[in-house]
Structure 1
């Protein structure tokens, strides 16, 4: 099987002069980018890095980050990207856990790096305008050279860190073959054609960002860097670069549509939409369908551990459905309280979602975390930690996280169904549902609402009563907030809502009776 370095060279062979990378004013063809990558590969060797060593990057989605990622694939180094917002103790943890020999950072992460104790003991390279004595990327890797594939498909490609919602983050090592197969599946499942153009805004420390980067090398495409998401800048890039496909979390789609420049922007080049990372509520699905009228609208459900669980290529036709297993995957829903992957739940019965570890896209276990392996890897299946059910037609619906399940009066209640209903209220901009402690019920269902305009809780309750939402799932309380707390990649942080860590909005004004 081809390794990733030789995969990159396929595009150089086929489309050497085509534009491959865009970052502001910088534009590189596949040939030019290959030469830049070769220079970084040579520079990494000069720094003493050898195959199997880890490289920790604390970078935004700039061209240096993309180039460094590819150079590691040629050199057989393990790219280990970290959130550029990481705190000093998180950098210390990642350096200690991975044993990285090199740390590459930029101005936005400089303060955290300077306060990291372990960062003082490794080689450091700076990117961009950073004060200090550490060598600069542009000088350390100034020489251009042809890249040389030194890795094989069985070598490690990268190690992603999970978000660490409970306990310390877990390193997810992935081999080059798994990364290549996952990229191939992404091409097939999103029906990419040669010359596709994508907005490189999903961070390269997240599997969605890595997938966007790698797939462009399979189809001689164009990766348009966006260091930090800004809706206005994203819209300008879509129009200027004639972006053909968007692969974003729902939050970023919401922000694009809500920006005043959207209606003034030519987005006709965008013919395919894909989303992942979090459920997309019905109202946003319908708004996107109307705004883009895409040829393909894909709901992609997966994880860092096994890239694809399932896909729904008709997201609007069956809202809320994650579809069926991807082309490299087997999955099933098992009993909610079971640890046996053979205890399959009945149709429409909510349970745990598990995926076959024999998937060509799968990892083989967490880095230095045997207790996490024991919890998540059982009898050849990966326990995702997600809940869901399969309908009568065989389509999967993801209802939330096992840890997010609300148990009220003995009933298991998933937040997603309630959120989808409330999202259709015209005054609701965003909504998240969580369970708060209740002396009588154990937990009570509470809806946290970011409103578009003045709306009373009574109106939202009436909306739920008029829907097909069963009564015991109806929120017993509405809390109005200025923003829904989210992770850097747009996942709702329900634990913050439960803990009271949110910015409450003023209560709605009372309705004014007509004169």
Structure 2
């Protein structure tokens, strides 16, 4: 899917979309600060030497890898899959692919044969860039770090100037359907997302950004990677998540900004002994979101440590809302509400965003306190799902994205939006989305399962974990469920960590399982 010529003309005329491209951002920083540090590997890097590159060295690496990919026949319009942990190599791979005018489709490192066998054909990828141990189906063309791509020089890639409307990425979102949906994005809409994620924490070239979120979707790419390129800060990569290493990186690199899930921030406040042993004196703000932020947590970080928590709400399809300390200095207000675009006091950077709340009968809600589905339009919204990956049109008759998330108008002037609930059943475990429908479909094949429902249950560290609720058709326990799913080749983070046996699943009059009535 691509944006229409009319939309491009309207948004560029208003200045919401510009001629900037991702490769241009890189070239600007390489020219402006070639000797400054650009990117740093994780302290506990899994494979290969730990690297620390300047902007000049990063530019040279991107040139080199782009040349190697060009030799493999990769060019404009091609799709290249990438499955690497957060690292220098991941950043180089993404930037080299984009430089050639090709499309990146990034996959979490946890994906195994089951997920890759589904998504590689849907993406149309010609090549997979991976680590030394590829999990791709047999016969998939691959290049590996460090084996195929380390210290190898190819022909010089041809010079080209990118069209901001050309497709840059295909990310994957797990909704209520069993198969993930492909979300294509171009330079225009990615850099509109970047503008919000750069402005909310007021990032500059003096910042040091620690990134613990996988660079495979909105949080990692839009929230960290592109703002880093825009301002020319230092990017410190982190993977896999390990709290002692994470805190050590903050101290060693003098990190000023990072992202963290709400559950982790709450845990650290409750266990002050952990923070007492860590040096977080350089840290000034933290981005968080994906689930409601507890007001005591946001206030606790500000009052005890002088660190502002920035509240983000968005999705792969279209980020739109944020609560930042400049416009919402009260931490409890910032935790509970988002500025309502177009309302009094809303940040100017939200001016291009249009939102509406819609009741189940299709009528627009304009009064406070009445929940409705959030729908939105604007320059951060994608053009539509990759053909063949979604059954329904995500947009309504007026062109607004149906988010499936419930909000209500709040505030004495209707100036806020308050998050009410997730209309979808998605489970968010440590920042990774898990589609219950996918697991339910697989569990239906278990010989001892008559019916199954999958839901999340709260966890202090990861936010949620996975629970399988089963109506049995024989002897069954958690080990047999996990073993059955492992044999299907699914990613380990999706595996249930709890099993509940019930006589029947709660259902509504039309037979839909009522997830909220599951006793977890």
Q: Distance in 2 between matches of 1:144 and 1:208?
A: 34
Alpha-carbon spacing, 1:101–1:320, altered in 2? closer, same or farther (3 Å)? same
Q: Distance in 2 between matches of 1:330 and 1:345?
A: 17
RMSD (Å), alpha carbons: 3.1
Equivalent in 302, 306, 310 of residue 298 of structure 1: 310
Q: What CA deviation, in whole Å up to 9, does each residue of 1:189-208 have, x standing for no partner?
A: 22112221111211011211
Equivalent in 383, 402, 421 of residue 402 of structure 2: 383
- 2:227 aligned partner: 215
Are 1:62 and 2:87 counterparts? yes
Q: What CA deviation, in whole Å up to 9, does each residue of 1:424-469 have, x standing for no partner?
A: xxxxxxxxxxxxxxxxxxxxxx9966xxxxxxxxxxxxxxxxxxxx
Q: TM-score, normalised by structure 2?
A: 0.72
Higher relative contact order structure (alpha carbons within 8 Å, sequence separation ≥ 6): 2
Q: How does 1:140-151 map to 2 (within 5 A)?
A: 141-142=152-153, 148-151=159-162
Decide which moves more: 53-62 or 188-197: 188-197
Equivalent in 48, 65, 69 of residue 40 of structure 1: 65
Equivalent in 347, 362, 375 of residue 354 of structure 1: 375
User: Cα distance, 1:143 vs. partner?
Assistant: 5.8
Q: How does 1:15-414 map to 2 (within 5 A)?
A: 15-23=33-41, 24=43, 25-107=50-132, 110=134, 112-113=135-136, 116-117=137-138, 120=139, 122-128=140-146, 136-139=148-151, 141-142=152-153, 148-211=159-222, 212-254=224-266, 257=269, 258=271, 261-294=274-307, 296-313=308-325, 314=328, 316-318=331-333, 319-325=335-341, 327=350, 329-339=352-362, 343-356=364-377, 359-369=378-388, 372-392=391-411, 393=413, 394-403=415-424
Q: Distance in 2 between matches of 1:69 and 1:98?
A: 16
User: Cα distance, 1:311 vs. partner?
Assistant: 3.4
Q: What CA deviation, in whole Å up to 9, does each residue of 1:266-298 have, x standing for no partner?
A: 11111122112222223432333244312x431
Unaligned runs of 5+ in 1: 129-134, 406-414, 416-445, 450-482, 506-515
Q: Distance in 2 between matches of 1:447 and 1:282?
A: 22
Q: Distance in 1 between matches of 2:109 and 2:199?
A: 31
Query: What SS is found at the alignment partner of 1:384?
Result: strand
Q: How many residues align?
A: 410
Q: Distance in 2 between matches of 1:389 and 1:349?
A: 5
Query: What SS is found at the alignment partner of 1:138?
Result: coil
Query: What SS is found at the alignment partner of 1:317?
Result: helix
Q: What CA deviation, in whole Å up to 9, does each residue of 1:316-336 have, x standing for no partner?
A: 131321333352543434233
Q: What CA deviation, in whole Å up to 9, does each residue of 1:399-447 have, x standing for no partner?
A: 2212459xxxxxxxxx9xxxxxxxxxxxxxxxxxxxxxxxxxxxxxx99
Q: What CA deviation, in whole Å up to 9, does each residue of 1:128-159 have, x standing for no partner?
A: 4xxxxxx52215x5469799454221111111
- 2:442 aligned partner: none
Decide which moves more: 391-400 or 373-382: 373-382
User: Cα distance, 1:235 vs. partner?
Assistant: 0.6
Q: Distance in 1 between matches of 2:156 and 2:274?
A: 42
Alpha-carbon spacing, 1:388–1:126, altered in 2? closer, same or farther (3 Å)? same
User: Cα distance, 1:303 vs. partner?
Assistant: 1.1
Unaligned runs of 5+ in 2: 1-18, 44-49, 342-348, 428-454, 472-477, 479-495, 501-520
Alpha-carbon spacing, 1:403–1:493, altered in 2? closer, same or farther (3 Å)? farther
Q: TM-score, normalised by structure 1?
A: 0.72
Q: What CA deviation, in whole Å up to 9, does each residue of 1:59-97 have, x standing for no partner?
A: 110111111111122111111001111131210111110
Q: Distance in 1 between matches of 2:159 and 2:242?
A: 36
Q: Distance in 2 between matches of 1:498 and 1:309?
A: 37
Q: Is the 8 A contact 1:207 1:304 kept in 2?
A: yes
Q: Distance in 2 between matches of 1:46 and 1:371?
A: 34
Alpha-carbon spacing, 1:264–1:290, altered in 2? closer, same or farther (3 Å)? farther
Query: What SS is found at the alignment partner of 1:399?
Result: strand
Q: Is the 8 A contact 2:179 2:389 kept in 1?
A: no
Alpha-carbon spacing, 1:62–1:310, altered in 2? closer, same or farther (3 Å)? same
Query: What SS is found at the alignment partner of 2:386?
Result: coil
